[in-house]
């Protein structure tokens, strides 16, 4: 039986948790703001002039407990992406050397998802969404 790396699995779960939190905290808030404003075109062109302050679109319910931490991860998408990719690559090398190919494949996928998310944040839409979230 091949050895499995607990640390690599923890990093894998952390990558997925932060990825989902970032997507819910940024795109989820964007959808709620567009619905609140009645402007579906704002989904591709977010901004203060169209949607107002993103904090105003947060619901007055326990759902806010899921959205606020996600918005926090979204604020720091570049730092989160850098850390997730750095730790993911380190864990990937470790699991590959151990021979745990299943975890290595999952790490390749999750680290690649973080690379794509970070690259998407560098696009004009990503920059506009990031600026809107920070206001």
Confidence band, pLDDT 50/70/90 cuts, at residue 2: low
Domain coordinates in residue numbering, the chain: 6-134
Per-residue pLDDT tens over the stretch 57-85: 888 888 888 889 999 999 999 999 999 99
Smallest CA-to-CA distance from 68 within 77, 58, 81, 78 is with 58
Q: Which residues contact 56 (CB under 8 A, 6 or more apart)?
A: 33, 36
């Amino acid at each position: 039986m091949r050895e499995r790396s607990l640390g690599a699995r923890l990093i894998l779960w952390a990558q997925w948790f932060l990825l989902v939190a970032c997507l819910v905290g940024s795109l989820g808030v964007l959808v709620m703001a567009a619905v609140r404003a009645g402007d579906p075109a704002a989904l591709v062109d977010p901004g203060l002039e169209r949607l107002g302050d993103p904090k105003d679109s947060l619901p007055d319910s326990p759902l806010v407990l899921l959205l606020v931490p996600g918005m926090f991860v979204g604020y720091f998408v570049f730092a989160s992406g850098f850390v997730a990719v750095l730790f993911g690559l380190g864990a990937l090398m470790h699991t590959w050397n151990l021979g745990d190919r299943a975890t290595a494949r999952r790490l390749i996928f999750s680290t690649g998802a973080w690379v794509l998310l970070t690259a998407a944040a560098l696009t004009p839409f990503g920059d506009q969404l990031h600026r809107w979230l920070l206001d």
